[in-house]
Structure 1
Amino acid sequence: MSAQPDRLGIVCLASGTVGFVFFLMEIVWYRMLGPLLGGTTYTFGLILCVALLGIGVGGALYALLARLVKPTLSFLAFICTLEALLIAVPYWYGDQIAFWVLHQQSQPVATFLEQVWYWFQIGAFVIFPAALVAGFQFPLLIAIAGTGKENVGKHVGWTFAANTLGAISGSIAGGFFLLPAMTAPGLWKLSVCLLLSLGLILLLTGQRWKPVSLATSLLLSLLTILMITETGPTAVWRHAGIGARRASLEDTGPNAKRNFSHTKNRQCIWEAEGRESSVAITATDSLAFIVNGKSDGNAFGDAGTQIGLGLLGPLLHPAPRTGLVIGLGTGESAGWMAAVEEMTAVDVVELEPVVLEITRRCSQINRDAQQNPKLTLHFNDAREFLLTSKQQYDLIVSEPSNPYRAGIANLYTREFYDSVSNRLNPDGLFLQWLQGYEVDDRTVQIVLQTVQSVFPEVQIWQTKARDMVLVCGKSKQAFQYQLESLQQKLKQPVLAEGLKQGWSVIDVEGILAHFVCGDRTINQLLESVSEPMNLDDRNLLEYAFAKTVGKSTRFSIHDLQNRAVQLDDDLPVSLDSESRKKVTQRRLAMQLRLGGRVHIDDGLSEEQQTRGEAFNLYLASRYLDALARFQTFQPDLSCPIETMVYAHTLAESGVPVPDELLIKVREQNPTEAAAIQAIAALQQKQPGEGLQKILDTLKLLENSPWGSRQLLDSLLFKAVSLCDLDAGYAEPLYEQLQQPFSLHRLEDNRLLVRYLIAEKIGNQQIIDSLQTMEPNAPWKEWLLEKRVRVYAAEKHPLTERARNELSQFKRASH
């Protein structure tokens, strides 16, 4: 018996629609699971495997049950509705899946295979049920198209053609248009609605349908609609850094989860869906941008690397004119490079246009990069740009995301380095960021082996505690700089300002403290191993980096520098003994400034070891003990870092800070000087003077983001103690804390301190301070109780909600 023409038509419509929806969901799964599972090559391979496994099992299941089911349109309608329901279930679970991943990460993992099993559990829960139904659905479509042996080829061919056309249309429409317009969660809901609509059409089109079938499909549809009207995935899932192991719960239980959820959603102040990536902006210590669930740059916290990358090339190159920066991000690297007086043109290649928003918001720290006429922005793939451009450059800077992210390791292959070398002038320099954390020795050796195969001269510099920059010369004559040339370069205003802000250095010794090693050390590191190079068709790094995400590893930049010291390869220029001593001291200060602990090695002199001890005690906020160490040697007041630390230590210890010391601090950073004066006044029982200096500091922070986190945090919480002493001080402090500081510096603590000070004033101020945190108020019992009392007293519209949330907290505590 041949098929009816109308039956083949509706089958093709259904086949095209399910193909369209499945590829929409493929896009959603890739975009949504990346932030939870790490976004590595393993993540994307796992998603594909689970989807194909589900389709295969579903097809096999149909073969087993084919004689038990009747291929009708009403049955197909039920299957489409069931698929919609199964797609909606993970959406309904929402952030609970993210907390599932966090729980997995809290468990010890003995082997990589065990880690893959954890990933598989998440992928299977989200993908497998829907994929299984999709696999069952396709042979059902063919069966509905006709009966018997006639026109089998026609039916199969048309069904396959419609499904393929739908799949292609779904991938193009979803990836290029629907995803940026609707966001991944929106596309998720659209997919569900399309399947529900298809199910309804099929049900109404069927020639015979029973009330039971109609009732079942309608019930499933209603349940599905209720599921997708829930909140779904929030910033907890998408922007908390869970897949990169950058998140953890402070405690166990529902209240810890709720506090985590409120914190992450409160910190996320902007998000957008791009064609290439999901991007969010968070405000914690300062603005940071999150790409596919992982922070790719903190405007202030990563300034050492981002500004350093932009200025290190112009500093080392004898006469730079043209530059190329791969990756825009906060705009600091490109903006500072373009601002250098010698530079005439800087091209920037950025893959994701929505990143422009973070660049715009960071104009105070990137020298207003977007408005610099010397800077030209290209939205393109970096490798394509290098292969198709005819422009030659003096400097090329590559500032990609972490190499463990799928596709990023392609910017660490020999072929990529060849394309970079081809675009460099004969004396050109190539600078590439490389993480020094969550990476093992072998992986670093592969990178160095690969880069050395193209560039004859390679140096390693340090820009943060665990960030390296590979500086590569196209020729052996590329590194022509000497001590005198560096000193002359440092007289250029932009270089001097940028290095003072990004690295807190004002002299050549401070710059040289960031030098790790040269070719001699690298060659010795590589001579004892025979690691292969990283190639396009054998990308070892993509897998090697992905295996060590979030794990402690043996590689250490400090150990690499110690190796260089032993080989007398720890300085790129010749220095006298006094200058070498200053560089050693600057390295101790650099370690304090860049984060982490200060390393105290046996090879240091007794005075240097004591200095290192003083720095570590300072980092631990043990100020009296630190002062005791400082009093055993003469602090180096030519070092801005040590000067600030010494002055802050004196202030916290209640010891008067000499005027000449404050002048030194003020020359480098007026905000830090005002903060130290405030702390000194408060510790010496001068509350009126302390209040005025706190207000001065907060005013300076409105226009400048620069200032030590440890110093400024101490100041903020001393402001609360001042109000405890006398509530009369609260009003001016509260008013000064109303607006975010520059770049949202100290935003978490600003909001908290503003609330604590509001408690000293009155209910209206408490309500105003809470409004800036609603609907994600800190999930702490003392705050939730106060919130209920104040809202009730003022008959606030959120009173009932506040009561309910306090009840939820208390129930979860028992």
Structure 2
Amino acid sequence: AIAGARVLGAPGPSRELRTEAPPRATGDSPFPPALLFAALAASGFAAMTYQVAWTRVLTLSIGSVTYSFPLIVGAFIGGLAVGASVLGRLGDRPSLGAPLLVACQLGIAVVALATIPVLGDLPVRIALLVARHSDSFVALQLAKFAAVFAVVFAPTFLMGGMLPLAARAVAAGGTDDVGAAVGRCYASNTVGTIAGAFVAGFALVPTIGMQETIAVAVAVNAWVGAVLLARSGWLAPMARTALGGAAALGLTAAALGMPDWDRTVLTSAPYLNANLYADGENLTAAEVRRVLSYKADIVYYREDVATTVTVLDDRRRRYLYVGGKLDAVSRDPTQSLLGLLPMLLHPDPERVLVVGLGSSETLGATLRYEAARTVDCVEISPGVVEAAGRFFEVDRPVLRDPRLRLRIGDGRVHMAMTDRTYDVIVSQPGNPWMAGASALFTREYFEQLRSHLAPGGVASIWIQGFGASPESVASLIGTLSSVFEHADLWEGRVLGDYILTAYDAPLRFDVDALAQRMRERSVALAFERASVEDVADLLGYYVAPAGSIRGLDGGDLVNRDDRNFLETRLQRELLLRRERDVYVALSGRRESALPRVAAATSDAARETLAKLGRIERARELARQVREIELRADALGEGGDVVAAAALDREAAALRDHIRELDPKAAILEGS
């Protein structure tokens, strides 16, 4: 606030840093210095408590992405700077200094109280902004900043006035050392902000939630204002004490009695789903709220230290949302394959590391293998761990398996702190455009994976094509292949999902050995649930060596910790929804898995290869279908309806043939 005030030309507290005391008589301020220092500490505590809680709830609406945090911090600091400038000037008038201090504290409580219902309705407003500005990234960011600034400006404006007003009041008390007095003001406020950041982030939000944390901060400001009013010297002592107490009690009761936010709307991720309200110019707020509330019933909700975790149940499946974004689905075949595939490719996977728990589907897949003796799992969110254990352990208690060592923490920190090596490492972070998760898609992270793989080890990494361009996906794959010379790309069962497997040496697919491992009872059941019938089915998901993807559509840059360009680029691509473009581009680089197969000597192996040939033919036809559809769409938009209809008929005929060869290819293509 001081720095901002000086930029704006305010007579902030630094103006008082001079060798002589200001020419004011002792007793000009009704507040003793100790009270002002305590008020500044409490005010700083409340201010940082607001910032922590506001940031948590605002990112649910505008996205937990890199661009969101500067928007929030910029709006917060902007309000502080303007408040310090304006109120600092007003505080030059002796008659206004003390009243402004009281008004600031009580005013902060009032306007911060008003942010509670506004924040509950913010997802609806952000949805409208996304619908109107989804075609311009810059316009959308400016609109988001305006929305955030509108929410936080009034309280931060008043917060900005506290330090210059209090410093001036201390100086007016007749101190001989103005510089030291102002320094103590600044120190008191700083101590309060440090305490507020720690208590709010690690105690209040995880225990009582974001809304109640804001209510606590409102109460702090209200009672500080009441104490200052009681010592202000206005009115009779009993009257000002009663007035201050009544105001503080009323504001505290109002804050604690606010209706709870609609959690379905709050965690609806409006920044992601512009397609749901594309007609934003014509939608009303009530209609958008109805769209955002379309989801299933919330059966679990927790705001922990790291994020907000929600579980929804539509009576068919359960959905895990982390930070408002869908993170996992019960009985998801791709999540199972992510764990099953590397375990199958390794001949004896005794030591396993899983980075990220999610719904526990992937972890459970690794524990299906009897060869696994120890499985370490690192998950940063306690809420995810609780949700997985309560709502996603369908057929067996994965989290109570004696071979499991579950740790709450950061995956990169775990690998930095341990010298253990693993036969299999599975990495399933969130989307690479999310703040924090992006660090698990850099060259340095992949180097960590390689350094912790035992000789002959296999790593698998979940790649999400959701909201990404072919160029970005190619850069991500290229980043891995810059570390692992030997790596492969596989399709998931859902359009946009991919799996990378990496090794320290060339790997050939021994059909007979793979089939034998797949026959292990619990493993066979897991593959059946993942809709994989046999080895041919599994190899049908093979796309190509990762090295052959590098450079696709110009995506040849390597993503690094100190140049994490994917984090910001993907945020720009987020609303483009180019999953099918990614699918078509990668399908164009598809290679047969047959040359990678070891010599097939048994009849079963030869039959597997024959089936694999049919599957690969179906996948190639699926790619052709998509290309035909794109040409048909272009002709239709150009007005050549007859030619477009002819291409549609050609695509339909190919789809019928695809279903005969491999129904799974038809499902993947969307037919």
TM-score (norm 2): 0.82
**Conserved in 1, the CA contact under 8 Å of 2:592 and 2:616?**
no
Q: Residue 513 of structure 2 aligns with which residue?
A: 485
Q: Secondary structure at the match of 2:95?
A: coil
1:438-449 superposed matches below 5 A? 438-449=467-478
Give the length in aligned residue pairs.
607
Given candidates 308, 318, 336, the residue that maps to 1:287 is 318
Q: Per-residue CA shift, 1:240-293, capped at 9, x if unaligned?
A: 1223337835993465356446645x6212211211111111112411122122
Percent of aligned positions with the same letter in both sequences? 23
Q: Sort the Cα spacing of 1:364 and 1:161 in 2 relative to 1 into closer, same or farther, 3 A.
A: closer
Q: Sort the Cα spacing of 1:231 and 1:426 in 2 relative to 1 into closer, same or farther, 3 A.
A: same
Instruction: Confirm whether residue 500 of structure 1 aligns to residue 528 of structure 2.
Output: yes
Q: Sort the Cα spacing of 1:70 and 1:446 in 2 relative to 1 into closer, same or farther, 3 A.
A: farther
Q: Residue 277 of structure 1 aligns with which residue?
A: 307
Q: Residue 775 of structure 1 aligns with which residue?
A: none
Q: Sort the Cα spacing of 1:642 and 1:450 in 2 relative to 1 into closer, same or farther, 3 A.
A: closer
1:102-181 superposed matches below 5 A? 102-147=127-172, 150-181=176-207
Q: Distance in 2 between matches of 1:320 and 1:343?
A: 6
CA drift of 1:94 comes to 4.2
CA drift of 1:72 comes to 4.3
Question: Cα RMSD between the aligned structures?
Answer: 3.5
Q: Per-residue CA shift, 1:722-776, capped at 9, x if unaligned?
A: xxxxxxxxxxxxxxxxxxxxxxxxxxxxxxxxxxxxxxxxxxxxxxxxxxxxxxx
Kindly provide the amino acid, as one letter, of the partner of residue 454 in structure 2.
N
Q: Distance in 2 between matches of 1:514 and 1:237?
A: 37
Q: Sort the Cα spacing of 1:340 and 1:191 in 2 relative to 1 into closer, same or farther, 3 A.
A: same
Q: Sort the Cα spacing of 1:482 and 1:64 in 2 relative to 1 into closer, same or farther, 3 A.
A: same
Q: Distance in 1 between matches of 2:94 and 2:81?
A: 19
**Conserved in 2, the CA contact under 8 Å of 1:436 and 1:556?**
no
Instruction: Confirm whether residue 231 of structure 1 aligns to residue 259 of structure 2.
Output: yes
**Conserved in 2, the CA contact under 8 Å of 1:78 and 1:199?**
yes
Q: Per-residue CA shift, 1:111-165, capped at 9, x if unaligned?
A: 3211111110221022222111111221011111132683211221111111111
Given candidates 570, 574, 597, the residue that maps to 1:573 is 597
CA drift of 1:360 comes to 1.6
**Conserved in 1, the CA contact under 8 Å of 2:41 and 2:189?**
yes
Q: Distance in 2 between matches of 1:292 and 1:283?
A: 17
Q: Distance in 1 between matches of 2:65 and 2:655?
A: 51
TM-score (norm 1): 0.68
Q: Distance in 2 between matches of 1:216 and 1:162?
A: 23
Given candidates 362, 372, 377, the residue that maps to 2:406 is 377
Q: Residue 466 of structure 2 aligns with which residue?
A: 437
Q: Secondary structure at the match of 2:384?
A: helix
Kindly provide the amino acid, as one letter, of the partner of residue 544 in structure 1.
R
Q: Residue 548 of structure 1 aligns with which residue?
A: 573
Given candidates 218, 224, 228, the residue that maps to 1:192 is 218
Given candidates 345, 351, 360, the residue that maps to 1:316 is 345
Q: Distance in 2 between matches of 1:631 and 1:100?
A: 42
Kindly provide the amino acid, as one letter, of the partner of residue 573 in structure 1.
V
Q: Secondary structure at the match of 2:208?
A: helix
1:692-771 superposed matches below 5 A? none
Q: Sort the Cα spacing of 1:65 and 1:449 in 2 relative to 1 into closer, same or farther, 3 A.
A: same
Q: Distance in 2 between matches of 1:569 and 1:179?
A: 50
CA drift of 1:393 comes to 0.3
Q: Residue 304 of structure 1 aligns with which residue?
A: 333
Given candidates 255, 269, 275, the residue that maps to 1:241 is 269
1:505-654 superposed matches below 5 A? 505-519=532-546, 521-523=548-550, 525=551, 529=554, 531-553=556-578, 556-565=581-590, 572-573=596-597, 578-584=610-616, 587=619, 600=625
CA drift of 1:488 comes to 2.3
Q: Residue 267 of structure 1 aligns with which residue?
A: 297
Q: Residue 667 of structure 1 aligns with which residue?
A: none
Q: Per-residue CA shift, 1:467-522, capped at 9, x if unaligned?
A: 0111111x233x233223322222222332212111x1212221112111114522
Given candidates 37, 59, 63, the residue that maps to 1:34 is 59
Q: Distance in 2 between matches of 1:432 and 1:151?
A: 62
Kindly provide the amino acid, as one letter, of the partner of residue 241 in structure 1.
A
Kindly provide the amino acid, as one letter, of the partner of residue 445 in structure 2.
F
**Conserved in 1, the CA contact under 8 Å of 2:118 and 2:151?**
no
Q: Sort the Cα spacing of 1:640 and 1:106 in 2 relative to 1 into closer, same or farther, 3 A.
A: closer
CA drift of 1:297 comes to 0.9
Q: Secondary structure at the match of 2:406?
A: strand
Q: Residue 487 of structure 2 aligns with which residue?
A: 458
Q: Sort the Cα spacing of 1:573 and 1:558 in 2 relative to 1 into closer, same or farther, 3 A.
A: farther
Kindly provide the amino acid, as one letter, of the partner of residue 330 in structure 2.
A
Q: Secondary structure at the match of 2:67?
A: helix
CA drift of 1:319 comes to 2.2
Q: Distance in 1 between matches of 2:309 and 2:225?
A: 34
Q: Distance in 1 between matches of 2:658 and 2:246?
A: 82
Q: Residue 349 of structure 1 aligns with which residue?
A: 378
Q: Residue 183 of structure 1 aligns with which residue?
A: 209
**Conserved in 1, the CA contact under 8 Å of 2:124 and 2:285?**
no
CA drift of 1:29 comes to 1.5
Q: Distance in 2 between matches of 1:602 and 1:9?
A: 75
Q: Distance in 1 between matches of 2:85 and 2:655?
A: 79
Q: Secondary structure at the match of 2:420?
A: coil
Structure 2 unaligned regions, length at least 5: 1-24, 601-605, 630-648
Q: Distance in 1 between matches of 2:468 and 2:594?
A: 22
Q: Residue 360 of structure 1 aligns with which residue?
A: 389
CA drift of 1:449 comes to 2.6
Structure 1 unaligned regions, length at least 5: 592-597, 605-624, 646-709, 711-814
Q: Secondary structure at the match of 2:432?
A: coil
